[in-house]
Amino acid sequence: MPDSALPDQIVESIAISNAKSIGEQPAILSNLALANQILNTNMQQQMMLSQQQAMGQITMATLAKCISLITRADSTNPDESKEVATAAGAMTKLFETWKKISDDQVNQAPPSSTP
């Protein structure tokens, strides 16, 4: 036995264990990369869902305002009818803009990949 304080069998066992660990490292790194990709995809989907929910809330509030304007309109008052028509036109343009933005965001979202 050399000057080493450890028996040869223990030294050999440690060397084998180290070699095994080094051999498993690519698989561990691959699993970490996959977990990171899954986490990023999940976060993107959650962000898109929260944006859709926010757009839904804005749409509902705008729709409620439109209904309020329409039901408040009095056909005997031409100025008020003109105001309602102008507001309805503005709301229509706003809805079209929101729909275009929403469609663009959906089209830009990366396709979800399943492992």
In a domain, 69, yes or no: yes
In a domain, 81, yes or no: yes
How many CB atoms lie under 10 A from the CB of residue 84? 19
7 pLDDT higher than 90: no
In terms of residue numbers, what domain contains 18? 8-108
In a domain, 3, yes or no: no
Across the range 85-101, mean pLDDT stands at: 78
In a domain, 1, yes or no: no
CA distance 83 to 99: 24
In a domain, 23, yes or no: yes
| Joined tokens for residue 30 | 């691959």
In a domain, 115, yes or no: no
In a domain, 113, yes or no: no
Average pLDDT, the chain: 79
- The predicted pLDDT at position 43 comes to 95
32 pLDDT higher than 90: yes
**Please, are residues 11 and 4 in contact by the beta-carbon 8 Å criterion?**
yes
CA distance 91 to 80: 16
56 pLDDT higher than 60: yes
**Residue 105 pLDDT level (bands cut at 50, 70, 90):** confident
Residue 60 Cα distances to 31, 97, 108, angstroms? 43, 15, 25
Count H helices, E strands: the chain? 2, 0
Please count the structural domains in the chain: 1
In a domain, 99, yes or no: yes
